[in-house]
């Protein structure tokens, strides 16, 4: 059974993951409207992944005889000035989620909640990967610049990341 403090922060994490999913969905829609199919696919996939993160926490809480609270979702921003702005926002959002996971991990350790500490290890590794991936995209955007054809090249780079991730997922499924 989960203690009250751990349960409270797990439920806060549900809200954070749900809001991240909604934000990525709005970003995907914006990218699609801009003709950035590679970026749209990336963000649709990210939205699904964040929802899966949320669902894992909900199932964990219920498995541990807690009560998962499904929060109201914040309305995400719908318009962006540039793809550069969008990815900067994404990076800040991922850092916020990482900080929340680390805080939750500290709480579970302080509360001697070994099961939750173990459960959160997956999220620690996942956040490391997500932040690294977004930094790589931001680095590519800096190299490509903001010239007339930059959107095309940025979209192509993100499409390559999508293909690589899809290939990695196939490899993991075979194991």
Is this model's pTM higher than 0.75 or not? yes
In terms of Cβ atoms closer than 10 Å to its own Cβ (0-12, 13-18, 19+), residue 158 is buried
Contact 23, 77 (CB under 8 A): yes
44 C-beta neighbours (distance < 10 Å), count: 18
- Predicted confidence at residue 175, as pLDDT, reads 65
- Predicted confidence at residue 108, as pLDDT, reads 96
Q: Which of 145, 17, 3 is nearest to 61 (CA)?
A: 3
Q: How far apart are the C-alpha atoms of 40 and 104, rounded to whole Å? A: 31
| CATH classification of the domain holding 123 | 1.20.1260.10
Q: Which of 31, 44, 25, 26 is nearest to 151 (CA)?
A: 31
Tokens 């459960």 locate to 119
pLDDT per residue, tens digit, the chain (175 aa), is 899 999 999 999 999 999 999 999 999 999 999 999 999 999 999 999 999 999 999 999 999 999 999 999 889 999 999 999 999 999 999 999 999 999 999 999 999 999 999 999 999 999 999 999 999 999 999 999 887 788 888 999 899 988 888 887 776 777 6
Report residue 156 as tokens: 């192509």
- Predicted confidence at residue 135, as pLDDT, reads 95
**Number of compact structural domains in the chain:** 1
- Predicted confidence at residue 147, as pLDDT, reads 75
Contact 32, 40 (CB under 8 A): yes
- Predicted confidence at residue 48, as pLDDT, reads 97
CA distances to 115, 116, 141, 156, 157 from 152, rounded to whole Å, are: 46, 44, 11, 6, 9
Domain of residue 57: give its range: 4-71+79-174
């Amino acid at each position: 059974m989960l203690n009250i403090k751990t349960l409270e922060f797990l439920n806060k994490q549900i809200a954070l993951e749900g809001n991240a999913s909604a934000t990525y969905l709005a970003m995907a829609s914006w990218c699609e409207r801009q003709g950035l199919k590679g970026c749209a696919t990336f963000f649709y996939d990210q939205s699904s992944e964040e929802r899966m993160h949320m669902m894992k926490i909900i199932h964990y809480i219920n498995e541990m005889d807690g009560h998962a609270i499904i929060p109201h979702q914040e309305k995400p921003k719908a318009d962006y000035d540039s793809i550069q702005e969008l990815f900067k926002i994404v990076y800040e959002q991922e850092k916020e989620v990482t900080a929340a996971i680390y805080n939750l991990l500290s709480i579970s350790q302080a509360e001697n909640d070994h099961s939750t500490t173990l459960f959160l290890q997956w999220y620690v590794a996942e956040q490391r990967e997500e932040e690294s991936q977004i930094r790589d995209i931001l680095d590519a955007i800096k190299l490509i610049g903001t010239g007339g054809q930059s959107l095309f090249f940025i979209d192509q780079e993100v499409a390559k990341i999508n293909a690589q991730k899809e290939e990695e997922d196939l490899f993991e499924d075979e194991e």
